């Protein structure tokens, strides 16, 4: 690495720590920053939650002048700007939601050189006035967020974005960084072209999101499954995606009856209603949102812990984007997809009138293959995006519960034979009912009970039949005649199975699986219980602080930071600095509040004789450093002897904590003890007793403790 790059890297790292509280870059971030800092254009493709923002925010901080960030959504701008400000970065946004005086205020601070990043909508950026305004500024870079909006191929084309091509012409020297999470190759290619970028470097990050668990279940009795899923995750925030507007509202009402609070969100609501629903969700006032796909773009909430698809999305891109809204903070999140053949039929009906029918059908097919998959689901997903995983992921239902193949020829033959005997005139449900020998009126009226295979599949449950028939569909034994009331037809391949005894392999996902999960629902260990309790206390504090400032709780601290606090139990600012995601600004603003939560928690637990590793030392540190008590006060409060408390504090001192040792011992005394230690024989341990004797019983134990700590601290510093 050249000297210049070395310096750049170290400066970038400093910024990362100071303003974002992280010790390390994620894959690709530094590479992108290096390019931008060399004033080169960049296209960055990274999945949601991958950490795109930092790739232009850090160059903006390192460069002189102001960075202009183009963003299509007002909500997104506000969120990002609030987040930046909360980290002590001077940022602002300009959009149609502001009045003239607000805008003037911002323009003034920009002119005064106070703002490092300004977020604008594309419409705004391209007005004459604004253009003339920014022409007078020193612009460090342009960042085009959600850059896929420029592509006609994309799913989110915005005509205003196409006008951005003039940027390169008007500001040929200024680097442009285009960012998107889109997976579509055509769209990706169009971005650089449409922005007229100059030999841009293209970065494509891995789309793997290992912290998201993947699970697919049959769409049967979905409601109860959803309730159970939610009840297992108390206090966690999640999204339930539904196909129709009506179903979002119905689900909210139903959940309410089960004692679960949620809000709905769909495009049929007016913008005020939508804003309110979104706000309740992002501020954690309501943990669950039932939404159509209208919800999501521009939602930066990092602590979404799960996503349920009540209905199957129509393609893998949408699916991946939607589940991608969970676990942005890198903490474990769960996703659950329900699928049923009914959803597939609904889509196919839509597609009938779509000009892009073929494309949509192909994409749906891939989605179905995923849902029906019997190999590691993450592999299937990533393969779709052109990535190949070396190993199975171990975090999907297939990996956790490998399905077993069996010879399903007989089962398939029963179904196919019944279909033929029913003259291919029935749909899936009727077929199953006939196979299971049910005596519905329709069956009797049509004389279906007289066919030979009536009741031939009694031993197989309705649900399992559904699975098998879906598998047969996917294997191409059967097809659905959409033009004939969705009746099932036997394909040529199916006929081979029926008449030529071609073998069929089926997979049995046992039905008991879901029930088993219930039984295994583990009891929390005492430690887990305490962690839960502390997590609740920390989130309460986070909520309280967020409400005071009128921002979303995750902008105070992410779940990842809270989890790390639970693990490390930070007490003083030295400790808090080590927690990832705590910028200098946040440390100043919130550190003390959280320290009090942790300190009081430890005090409570210790008074109840609970066992937490290191807690007693931490509590003493807390009382001394944070509560500012002296040793006598701590002794009283903790009902412990002086030597114990001094033992705790001197131990912290030895480990490098900022403790004023001169309050407890003089320099002369320290020297005395230090000399005594040096005079110990090689086989004599540096112990209280040995030193006490060496010092002729004239120096008390407490002082000797300090003396030893001081000696060791100096020795540690030397090494």
Binding site for ligand ADP (CB under 6 A): 22, 24-26, 29, 46, 48-54, 300, 302, 328-329, 558, 580
- Of the pair 380, 498, the CB lying nearest Zn ion is at 380
**Binding stretches for Zn ion (CB under 5 A):** 376, 378, 392-393, 396, 399
Query: Smallest Cα–Cα separation from 295: which of 313, 311, 278?
Result: 278
For the bound state, the minimum distance from the C-beta of residue 50 to ligand ADP, rounded and expressed in Å, comes to 4
Contact criterion met (CB below 8 Å) for 367 and 315: yes
Nearer to Zn ion, 71 or 395 (CB): 395
Q: Which does 148 bind (CB under 5 to 8 A by kind): Zn ion, ligand ADP, none?
A: none
Instruction: Tell me the closest approach of the beta carbon of residue 209 to Zn ion, in angstroms.
Output: 12
Residue 34 has a CB neighbour count (10 Å cut-off) of 18
Q: Which of Zn ion, ligand ADP, none does residue 26 bind to, with CB < 5 to 8 Å depending on kind?
A: ligand ADP
Given the complex with Zn ion, which of 401 and 438 has the nearer CB atom? 401
What is the spatial distance between Cα 48 and Cα 71, in angstroms, rounded to a whole number? 15
Binds 399: which of Zn ion, ligand ADP, none (CB < 5-8 Å by kind): Zn ion
Specify burial of residue 220 (Cβ count, 10 A radius: 0-12, 13-18, 19+).
middle
Nearer to Zn ion, 107 or 389 (CB): 389
State the Cα–Cα distance between residues 191 and 395, nearest whole angstrom.
33
Surface-to-core class of residue 122, CB atoms within 10 Å of its CB (0-12 exposed, 13-18 middle, 19+ buried): buried
Tell me the closest approach of the beta carbon of residue 219 to Zn ion, in angstroms.
Answer: 21
DSSP string for 543-590: HHHHHHHTS-HHHH--HHHHHHHHHH---SHHHHHHSTT--HHHHHHH
Tokens of 410: 């007989």
Shortest approach of ligand ADP to residue 198 CB, angstroms? 24
Closer residue to Zn ion (CB): 361 or 387: 387
Closest by CA position to 422, among listed 434, 406, 411 = 434
Number of DSSP helices (H) and strands (E) in the chain, helices first: 35, 17
* Closest CB to ligand ADP among residues 33, 368: 33
Buried b (16+ CB within 10 A) or exposed e, 597-621: bbbebbbebbeeeeebeebbbbbbb
Name which of Zn ion, ligand ADP, none residue 51 binds, using a CB cut-off of 5 to 8 Å depending on partner kind.
ligand ADP
Out of Zn ion, ligand ADP, none, which partner does residue 637 contact, by CB within 5 to 8 A per kind?
none
Nearer to Zn ion, 378 or 586 (CB): 378
The entry of ligand ADP, Zn ion, none that residue 396 binds, CB within 5 to 8 Å by partner kind: Zn ion
Measured from the CB of residue 616, what is the shortest distance to ligand ADP in angstroms? 32
Q: Which does 393 bind (CB under 5 to 8 A by kind): ligand ADP, Zn ion, none?
A: Zn ion
Least distance in Å: CB of 93 to ligand ADP? 16
Closer to ligand ADP by Cβ: residue 22 or 535: 22
Alpha-carbon gap, residue 436 to 444, rounded angstroms:
14
CA distances from 80 to 52, 147, 554 (A): 12, 16, 12
Q: Which is nearer to ligand ADP, 174 or 182 (CB)?
A: 182
The edge-to-edge listing of strands for the beta sheet with 288-291 is 212-218, 333-339, 304-309, 237-241, 288-291, 262-265
User: Minimum Å distance from CB 51 to ligand ADP?
Assistant: 3
- Shortest distance, CB of residue 626 to ligand ADP, whole angstroms? 27
Q: Tell me which of ligand ADP, Zn ion, none is bound by residue 376, counting a contact when its beta carbon lies within the kind-specific cut-off of 5 to 8 angstroms.
A: Zn ion
Rounded to a whole number of angstroms, the minimum distance from the CB of residue 591 to ligand ADP is: 18
Contact between residue 373 and residue 380 where contact means Cβ atoms under 8 Å apart: yes
Which partner in ligand ADP, Zn ion, none is near 97 (CB below 5 to 8 A by kind)?
A: none
Residues 6 or more apart whose CB falls under 8 angstroms from that of 478 comprise 415, 416, 419, 469, 472, 488, 489, 490, 491, 494
Q: In the bound complex, what is the minimum distance in angstroms from residue 389's beta carbon to Zn ion?
A: 8
Give which of Zn ion, ligand ADP, none residue 238 binds (C-beta under 5 to 8 Å, depending on kind): none
Residue 83 or 591 having the CB closest to ligand ADP: 83
């Amino acid at each position: 690495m050249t000297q210049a790059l070395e310096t750049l890297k170290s400066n970038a790292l400093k910024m990362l720590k100071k303003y974002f509280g992280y010790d390390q870059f994620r894959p690709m971030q530094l590479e992108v920053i290096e390019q931008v800092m060399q004033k080169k254009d960049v296209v960055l493709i990274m999945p949601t939650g991958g950490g795109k923002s930092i790739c232009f925010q850090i160059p903006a901080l390192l460069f002189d002048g102001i960075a202009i960030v183009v963003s299509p959504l007002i909500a997104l701008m506000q969120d990002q700007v609030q987040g930046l400000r909360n980290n002590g970065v001077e940022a602002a946004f300009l959009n149609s939601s502001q009045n003239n005086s607000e805008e003037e205020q911002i323009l003034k601070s920009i002119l005064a050189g106070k703002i490092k990043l300004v977020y604008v909508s594309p419409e705004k950026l391209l007005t004459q006035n604004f253009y003339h305004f920014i022409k007078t500024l020193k612009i460090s870079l342009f960042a085009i967020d959600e850059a896929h909006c420029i592509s006609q191929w994309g799913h989110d084309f915005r005509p205003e974005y196409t006008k951005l091509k003039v940027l390169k012409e008007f500001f040929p020297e200024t680097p442009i960084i285009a960012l998107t999470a889109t997976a579509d190759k055509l769209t990706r290619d169009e971005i650089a072209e449409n922005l007229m970028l100059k030999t841009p470097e293209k970065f494509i990050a891995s789309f793997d999101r290992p912290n998201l668990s993947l699970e697919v279940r049959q769409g049967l009795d979905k409601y109860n499954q959803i309730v159970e899923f939610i009840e297992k995750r108390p206090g966690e925030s999640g999204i339930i995606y539904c196909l129709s507007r009506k179903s979002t509202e119905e689900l909210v009402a139903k959940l309410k009856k089960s004692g679960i609070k949620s809000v709905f969100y769909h495009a049929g609501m007016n913008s005020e209603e939508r804003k309110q629903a979104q706000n309740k969700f992002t501020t954690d006032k309501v943990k669950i949102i039932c939404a159509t796909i209208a919800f999501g773009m521009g939602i930066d909430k990092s602590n979404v812990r799960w996503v349920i698809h009540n209905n199957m999305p129509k393609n893998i891109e949408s699916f991946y984007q939607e589940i991608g809204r969970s676990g942005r903070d890198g903490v474990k999140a769960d996703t659950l997809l329900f699928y049923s053949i009914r959803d597939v039929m609904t889509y196919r009906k839509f597609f009938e009138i779509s000009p892009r029918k073929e494309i949509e059908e192909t994409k749906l097919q891939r989605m179905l293959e995923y849902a029906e998959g019997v190999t590691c689901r993450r592999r299937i997903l990533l393969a779709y995006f052109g990535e190949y995983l070396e190993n199975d992921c171990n975090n999907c239902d297939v990996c956790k519960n490998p399905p077993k193949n069996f010879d399903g020829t007989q089962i398939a033959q029963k179904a196919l034979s019944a279909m033929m005997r029913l003259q291919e005139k029935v749909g899936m449900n009727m077929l199953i009912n006939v196979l299971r020998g049910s005596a519905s009126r329709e069956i009797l009226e049509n004389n279906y009970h007289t066919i030979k295979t009536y009741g031939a599949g009694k031993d197989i449950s309705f649900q399992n039949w559904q699975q098998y028939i879906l598998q047969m569909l996917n294997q191409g034994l059967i097809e659905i005649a959409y033009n004939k009331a969705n009746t099932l037809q036997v394909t040529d391949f199916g006929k081979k199975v029926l008449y030529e005894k071609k073998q069929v392999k089926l997979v049995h996902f046992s039905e008991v699986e879901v029930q088993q999960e219930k039984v295994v629902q583990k009891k929390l260990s005492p430690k887990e219980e305490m962690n839960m309790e502390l997590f609740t206390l920390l989130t309460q504090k986070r909520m309280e602080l967020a409400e005071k400032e009128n921002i979303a709780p995750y902008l105070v601290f992410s779940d990842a930071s809270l989890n790390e606090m639970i693990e490390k139990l930070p007490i003083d600012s030295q400790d808090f600095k080590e927690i990832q995601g705590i910028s200098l600004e946040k440390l100043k603003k919130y550190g003390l509040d959280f320290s009090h939560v942790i300190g009081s928690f430890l005090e409570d637990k210790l008074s109840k004789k609970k066992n937490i590793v290191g807690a007693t030392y931490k509590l003493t540190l807390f009382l001394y450093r944070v509560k500012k008590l002296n040793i006598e006060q701590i002794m009283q409060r903790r009902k412990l002897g002086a030597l114990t408390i001094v033992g705790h504090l001197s131990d912290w001192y030895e480990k490098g904590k900022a403790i004023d040792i001169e309050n407890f011992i003089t320099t002369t005394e320290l020297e005395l003890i230090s000399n005594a230690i040096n005079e110990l024989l090689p086989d004599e341990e540096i112990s209280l007793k040995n030193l006490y004797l060496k010092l002729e019983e004239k120096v008390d134990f407490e002082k000797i403790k300090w003396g030893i700590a001081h000696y060791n601290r100096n020795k540690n510093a030397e090494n």
